[in-house]
Amino acid sequence: MDEILPHYTEIIDGNLFWDGTNILEVAKDYGTPFIIYSENILRGNYRKIKNAFNKYFKNVSIDFAIKSNFNPSLISILSSEGCGMDASSVNEIKIALLSGVSPDNISFTPNNVTIEELKFAIDKNITINFDSLSQFRMVLDHLPEIVSFRIKIDYGKGEFPGIKTAGKGAKFGEIPELALQGYREAKEKGCRRFGIHVMAGSNVRNADHFKLVAQKILEVVKNFEEELGIEFEFVDMGGGFGVPYRPEEGELDVMDTAKNIADVFKAFYTEKGREIPRLVIEPGRYISSNSGLLVGKITDVKRQESNFTGTDIGMNILMRPALYGAYHHILIANRMNEERKFKTDVTGQICENTDRIGKDVMLQEPQIGDIVAVFNCGAYTMSMASNYNGRLLPMELLISDGKLITIREKDNFQDIVRHTKFYESAKTLKD
């Protein structure tokens, strides 16, 4: 048994309870696999980061990064808290609108999109953070009211190389010289409202990182405002607010993070004799990651030169370990009082050797039929999932006021062939 358990976890009669819910009972009633979310945790995470930034900023917008989890029920909950949304595609914009988010609480930070997507956002009066000069020029004759560019600064940081979002080699953002030209062309076209955006990291738990990002983007702000004679009405710091995936890891101190950013902004704007403009941040993982638990069943145990514990959850549902080598904490939910001494790779049912939910994991002695719980699956799980190998996407459940609500039905076979000419015939086949 772990000396340190993930937050909101307790053991009762050897079984795993999460946010007060008996995971074994849910698995028995609903079958596996499924993802279960906690409304309590989701709201609590949002309030924690909101309170931290409200302490140091008079005017701050917190926009949830929809790419981390686009379930409309979760978007609606966050919107009811006053949370805005940041979208990376037109469909994410539509999900936000469908969930009751007003256009003035939505930002659009895309890359390599079509002119149709850009015009859709403009026509809905949604603020766009343009990723490049060429993207901006596609709508030069159809300008939004506010023009903002995502700036590629010379510094970036990420837990893995694949999620480093700025600095050398990153595909995101425009270099300052070309962004400057974009603002100049917007001003020449009569635009008088401007914002600026940066996103320089992902899953960073070091508060000093955000201070450095603030310094870097305000250097750009200073140069642009002096060169063009404009003022930015908002500075968007993007996201990157990290979470611990291992129970023993320390959390990001969001109060220190907010203070670090505020110290930089206060010094900069005091020198200019101006009020600090609206700050925008875009947390995704920080708000939703630990609000979701992925639950599956052990389907096989191979005791070989390396042990393999097979489950009904694979890389088609949880892509991060195969894609980045990411770690997710795994426990056997019905053996919580037993010692974890069985070293094994935890795998899924996908025909790829990268299909590992965990490598060299220490588990309780596994048996076919046991229930496994995978933590921190509220972000970048369902939003990255697929039907690879013809596997079905899982059900999504929500713990709300002590009750379970289905917020997404599980896939059936018909869903896989829904847009083919065989869909009607598939209805005759049983799952």
C-alpha 278 chain-centroid distance: 23
Asked if 254 and 60 count as a contact pair (C-beta separation under 8 A), the reply is no
CA-wise closest residue to 196 among 279, 113, 104: 279
* Packed helices 115-123 and 90-98: angle between N→C axes, nearest 10 degrees: 30
Bridge partners for 149 per DSSP: 130, 196
Residues annotated as catalytic (active site), given as ranges: 351
CA-wise closest residue to 328 among 341, 313, 339: 313
DSSP E strands, 88-144: 106-108, 127-130
Reading the block at residue 385, the tokens are 């999932």
The answer to whether the annotation marks 352 as part of a ligand binding site is yes
The answer to whether the annotation marks 369 as part of a ligand binding site is no
The answer to whether the annotation marks 380 as part of a ligand binding site is yes
392: Cα within 13 Å, side-chain hemisphere: 17
**Dihedral (CA of 117, 78, 296, 8) sign:** positive
Q: Alpha-carbon distance 37 to 203, whole Å?
A: 20
C-alpha 289 chain-centroid distance: 7
The answer to whether the annotation marks 3 as part of a ligand binding site is no
N- to C-terminal Cα separation, the chain: 37
Q: Alpha-carbon distance 397 to 18, whole Å?
A: 13
Asked whether the bond before 161 is cis by omega within 30 degrees of 0, the reply is no
The answer to whether the annotation marks 283 as part of a ligand binding site is yes
Q: Alpha-carbon distance 166 to 155, whole Å?
A: 6
The answer to whether the annotation marks 193 as part of a ligand binding site is no
Asked if 172 and 222 count as a contact pair (C-beta separation under 8 A), the reply is no
The answer to whether the annotation marks 388 as part of a ligand binding site is no
Which residue type occupies 290? N
Q: Kindly give, in sequence order, each residue whose CB lies less than 8 Å from that of residue 136, ignoring residues fewer than 6 positions away.
A: 130, 147, 149, 182, 185, 186
**Residue 414: phi, psi to the nearest 5?**
-60, -30
Among left, alpha and beta (phi > 0; psi -120 to 50; other), residue 144 is beta
Asked whether the bond before 33 is cis by omega within 30 degrees of 0, the reply is yes
Binding site, annotated residues: 240, 282-285, 320, 324, 352, 380
Binding site, annotated residues for substrate: 285, 320, 324, 352, 380
Binding site, annotated residues for pyridoxal 5'-phosphate: 240, 282-285, 380
